[in-house]
Structure 1
Amino acid sequence: MIRGFGLAAWLLVAVATPAAAEQTRIDNLSAVDLFALADRARAAGETDVAVTCYDALARDPDAQVRAEARFRKGMMFADAGRWREAATAFRALLDEQPKAPRVRLELARALAAMGDEGGARRQVRQAQAAGLPAEVAQSVGRFDRALRSRKRWGGTFELALAPDSNINRATQARVLDTIIAPLTLSDDARARSGTGAHLAGQAFARIGLGGDLALVPRLAGQANVYRDHAFDDLSGSALVGLEWLHGRERLSASAGRTRRWYGGRVYADTDTVTIDWLHGLGRTSQLVVTASASDARYARNDLQDGRLFDLGLSYERALSARGGFSAALSATRQTARDPGYATAAGGLTLTGWREAGHTTLFASAGIRRTEADAALFLFGARRQEWLTSARIGGTFRGLAVHGFAPYARLVVERNASTVKLYDYRRVATEFGITRAF
Structure 2
Amino acid sequence: MKIIHLVIALGLFLNLHFAYSGEAGESQAILELNVEQATDLATVWLEQGKTDQAEKLLKRLRSAPRPSLQVMFLSGQLAGMRGNWGKAIEEYRAILITDPKAVRVRLELARALFEIKDYPAALYHFELALSEPLPDEAQKNVLRFVRDIRFRLSRWEIRLDLMSDTNINNATQNRDIVISGNHFTLSNDAMAKHGAGWYLGLFGRQAFGADLSSFAQVQLESYDYSNRTNDRLFTQATVGKSFGLTDHIFTLEMGGHGSSYSGKTLYTGGLARIADGWRINPSSLVTASYEFKQLNYADVQYLSGHQGTLNLGIAHAFGGDTIASLGGFLGYSEAKETPYSYRYHGLRASFSHEMSHALTVGARIESYKLNYNGDDIWFGYPREDTKNIIEVDLLRRDWSWQGFSPRLILGGQVNQSNISLYEFNRAYFRVSFSREF
- Secondary structure of 2:93's counterpart equals helix
- Secondary structure of 1:130's counterpart equals coil
Q: 1:55 to 1:393 in 2, by over 3 A?
A: farther
Residue 334 (structure 1) shift: 0.6
Residue 371 (structure 1) shift: 0.5
Structure 1 residue 62 and structure 2 residue 68: aligned? yes
Report matched runs for 1:363-382 at 5 Å: 363-382=363-382
User: In 1, distance between residues paired with 2:210 and 2:428?
Assistant: 44
Give the corresponding residue for 1:409.
Answer: 409
User: In 2, distance between residues paired with 1:229 and 1:166?
Assistant: 14
Equivalent pair of 2:73/2:92 in contact (CA under 8 Å):
no
Letter in 2 for 1:359: L
Letter in 2 for 1:62: S
Equivalent pair of 2:73/2:91 in contact (CA under 8 Å):
no
Give the corresponding residue for 2:344.
Answer: 345
Task: Report the identity percentage.
Answer: 23
Give the corresponding residue for 1:168.
Answer: 169
Residue 57 (structure 1) shift: 5.0
Report matched runs for 1:125-144 at 5 Å: 125-132=127-134, 136-144=135-143
Residue 376 (structure 1) shift: 1.6
Equivalent pair of 2:76/2:89 in contact (CA under 8 Å):
no
What is the TM-score with the length of structure 1 in the denominator? 0.80
Report matched runs for 1:376-395 at 5 Å: 376-395=376-395
- Secondary structure of 2:145's counterpart equals helix
Residue 255 (structure 1) shift: 1.3
Give the corresponding residue for 2:27.
Answer: none
- Secondary structure of 2:302's counterpart equals helix
User: In 1, distance between residues paired with 2:185 and 2:103?
Assistant: 62
User: In 2, distance between residues paired with 1:112 and 1:380?
Assistant: 58
Structure 1 residue 397 and structure 2 residue 397: aligned? yes
Residue 178 (structure 1) shift: 2.7
Residue 113 (structure 1) shift: 5.7
- Secondary structure of 2:292's counterpart equals strand
- Secondary structure of 1:398's counterpart equals coil
Equivalent pair of 2:359/2:396 in contact (CA under 8 Å):
yes
Matched residues, number: 395
Equivalent pair of 1:164/1:194 in contact (CA under 8 Å):
yes
Equivalent pair of 1:367/1:386 in contact (CA under 8 Å):
yes
Letter in 2 for 1:60: R
User: In 1, distance between residues paired with 2:254 and 2:305?
Assistant: 18
Equivalent pair of 2:312/2:329 in contact (CA under 8 Å):
yes
Give the corresponding residue for 1:105.
Answer: 107
Q: 1:116 to 1:308 in 2, by over 3 A?
A: farther
Give the corresponding residue for 1:285.
Answer: 284
Residue 232 (structure 1) shift: 0.7
- Secondary structure of 2:339's counterpart equals coil
Give the corresponding residue for 2:331.
Answer: 332
Residue 260 (structure 1) shift: 0.8
Residue 180 (structure 1) shift: 8.9
User: In 1, distance between residues paired with 2:99 and 2:171?
Assistant: 47
Instruction: Quote the RMSD (CA, aligned, Å).
Output: 3.3
Structure 2 unmatched ranges of 5 or more: 1-31
Please identify, of 423-432 and 115-124, the stretch whose mean Cα deviation from structure 2 is larger.
115-124
Report matched runs for 1:2-401 at 5 Å: 32=38, 53=59, 56-57=62-63, 60-73=66-79, 75-76=80-81, 79=83, 82=85, 86-111=88-113, 120=122, 122-132=124-134, 136-150=135-149, 152-179=153-180, 182-210=183-211, 214-245=213-244, 249-357=248-356, 358-401=358-401
Residue 120 (structure 1) shift: 4.6
Residue 415 (structure 1) shift: 0.6
Q: 1:282 to 1:153 in 2, by over 3 A?
A: closer
Letter in 1 for 2:207: R
Q: 1:59 to 1:216 in 2, by over 3 A?
A: farther
